[in-house]
Amino acid sequence: MFKNSINSLFLIALSGFCSSIISERAFAGGRSEPWQMWFQDAASPVMEKIIEFHNLIFVVEISIVVFVLCLMGYIILRFNAKANPEPSKTTHHTLLEVVWTAVPLLVLVVVALPSMKLLYYADKVVESEMTIKVTGNQWYWTYAYPDHGEIQFDSYMIEDKDLKEGQPRSLSVDNPVVLPSRTNIRLLFTSADVIHNWAVPSLGLKLDTVPGRINESWVHINKEGDYYGMCSELCGVRHGFMPVHIKAVPKKEFSAWVEKAKAQFSNISSGSETKVANLEKPFDKAATGILKDRKRK
């Protein structure tokens, strides 16, 4: 197993380096690339703002680290016992102490103001054209479209052996959540069991799904494409195996999909009736909670 992995790793590494050499990258398609060191490409206004803000604080971070390192390097060279046999006795310098308290404060103000702007921007409530509801389950997501009839379906990860050509491993799901691009969408989050977290890095989305309450966010997907994410709150045995796959399509295509979905998911479309169908099961859930994993395999 290790050997296989090493082989594939070399290929991955090679292709990664090549693609990074070939001039500017094409849009990465809503997921990370081999050897990636930076954010995934932004595909929503919030993520664009996050990257913009990060560009600022990154400069601050690097300057501080470089400054301290240079200072320390200089001190080590200049004041080592060989270079400076007689130590000074200075233990105070009021002005200096005031300066190194005040300057960081100023830097923090420089960071805090745009930070607040970003915070409130991501939190604002936009006029949304439609709503989807995300429900976290151990270990899959349920998506509902309350504005489009009663479409509701579960989204499970595709096991490695069932993957088809072009489906990224451990990110692909059987039923991706289809959303219209260039549309303001309201997102509601809740959970049916433990706390999960629905996250899509390229869209700047990350919010807990908490049982017994809803959380709300919004998204505006700039371009069509596939966007991937993973559960981001430890939720039990298969926490690493409940990916998010958003398929963003033009509005027209979305309407067509809605019609199809109504038919496709009609047998389970009645929402909570689904749960009624497997009513006998839930009661032994407690006992088998952590063993579910094996059952699914």
Partner 1 sequence: MRVGQGVAMGNNHEVHPSGWRRWLYSTNHKDIGTMYIVLSLIAAILGGSMSGIIRLELMFPELQFIQDLQFYNVMVTGHAFLMVFFVVMPAMFGGFGNWFVPLMIGAPDMAFPRMNNISFWLLAAALILLLLSAFVQGGAGTGWTVYPPLSNADYHPGPAVDFGILSLHVAGASSILGAINFIVTILNMRAPGMTIHRMPLFVWSILVTAFLLLLAIPVLAGGLTMLLTDRNFGTTFFEVAGGGDPILWQHLFWFFGHPEVYIIIIPGFGIISQVISTFSKKPVFGYLGMAYAMVFIGVVGFVVWAHHMYTVGLDADSRAYFVGATLIIAVPTGVKIFSWLATMWGGSIEFPAPMMFACGFIFLFVVGGVTGVALANSGMDLAWHDTYFVVAHFHYVMAIAAVLAIFSGYYYWIGKMSGRQYPEKLAKIHFWLFFAGVNILFFPQHFLGMAGMPRRIPDYPDSYAGWNLVSSVGAFVAGIATLLFFFIIWKTFSSGGKVQSNQWGPGATTLEWTVDSPAPFHTHEELPVTNSHMPAE
Partner 2 sequence: MMGTDRMLKILQRQNRNTLTAFFLFGIVLGMAGLAFSSAPLYKLFCQVTGFGGTPKTNVVRKAISKSAGVINVRFDANTNSDLPWVFKPEKQKVLVSLGEPKLAFYFAKNVGAKPVTGTASYNITPFKVAKYFSKIDCFCFVRQTLEPGKRIPMPVEFIVDPEILEDPDTAEVKTITVSYTFFPVVQNDRKKS
The contact set with partner 2 (CB under 8 A) reads: 124-128, 131, 133, 135, 146-147, 186, 188, 190, 192-193, 211-216, 271-273, 275-276, 279, 282-287
Contact assessment for residue 171 and residue 245, using Cβ atoms and an 8 Å cutoff: yes
Nearer to partner 1, 39 or 264 (CB): 39
Distance, in Å, from the CA atom of 39 to the CA atom of 242, rounded to the nearest integer, reads 21
Nearer to partner 1, 60 or 263 (CB): 60
- Closest Cα partner for 239 from 175, 169, 290, 174? 290
Contacts for 151 with CB less than 8 Å, ≥ 6 apart: 144, 145, 258, 261, 262, 265, 269
Nearer to partner 1, 150 or 159 (CB): 159
Nearer to partner 2, 85 or 212 (CB): 212
Distance, in Å, from the CA atom of 231 to the CA atom of 135, rounded to the nearest integer, reads 12
Binding partner selected for residue 220 from partner 2, partner 1, none, CB under the kind-specific 5 to 8 Å limit: none
Binding partner selected for residue 125 from partner 1, partner 2, none, CB under the kind-specific 5 to 8 Å limit: partner 2
Written as six digits, the tokens of 232 are 């981001």
Q: Smallest distance from the beta carbon of 29 to partner 1, in angstroms?
A: 11
Identify the bridge partners of residue 141 per DSSP, sorted by sequence position. Answer: 136, 155
Q: Smallest distance from the beta carbon of 34 to partner 2, in angstroms?
A: 39
Binding partner selected for residue 128 from partner 2, partner 1, none, CB under the kind-specific 5 to 8 Å limit: partner 2
Q: Smallest distance from the beta carbon of 273 to partner 1, in angstroms?
A: 22
Binding partner selected for residue 29 from partner 1, partner 2, none, CB under the kind-specific 5 to 8 Å limit: none
- Identify residue 179 by its one-letter amino acid code: L
Nearer to partner 2, 40 or 137 (CB): 137
55, exposed or middle or buried, with CB in 10 Å at 0-12, 13-18, 19+? exposed
Nearest 10 degrees: Cα torsion 72, 74, 76, 82 = -160
Q: Smallest distance from the beta carbon of 64 to partner 1, in angstroms?
A: 5
Nearer to partner 1, 53 or 150 (CB): 53
Q: Smallest distance from the beta carbon of 209 to partner 2, in angstroms?
A: 11
Q: Smallest distance from the beta carbon of 288 to partner 1, in angstroms?
A: 9
Q: Smallest distance from the beta carbon of 149 to partner 2, in angstroms?
A: 10
Backbone φ and ψ of 226, nearest 5°: -105, 130
Binding partner selected for residue 279 from partner 2, partner 1, none, CB under the kind-specific 5 to 8 Å limit: partner 2
Q: Smallest distance from the beta carbon of 2 to partner 2, in angstroms?
A: 41
Nearer to partner 2, 193 or 253 (CB): 193
- CA 43, distance to chain mean position in Å, is 12
Binding partner selected for residue 64 from partner 1, partner 2, none, CB under the kind-specific 5 to 8 Å limit: partner 1
- Closest Cα partner for 237 from 296, 180, 192? 296
Distance, in Å, from the CA atom of 73 to the CA atom of 85, rounded to the nearest integer, reads 18
Instruction: State the greatest distance between any 2 C-alpha atoms of the chain, in Å, as a whole number.
Output: 86
Nearer to partner 2, 20 or 131 (CB): 131
Binding partner selected for residue 235 from partner 1, partner 2, none, CB under the kind-specific 5 to 8 Å limit: partner 1
For residue 15, the number of C-alpha atoms closer than 13 Å in the C-beta half-sphere is 7
For the chain, what is the radius of gyration of the CA atoms? 25
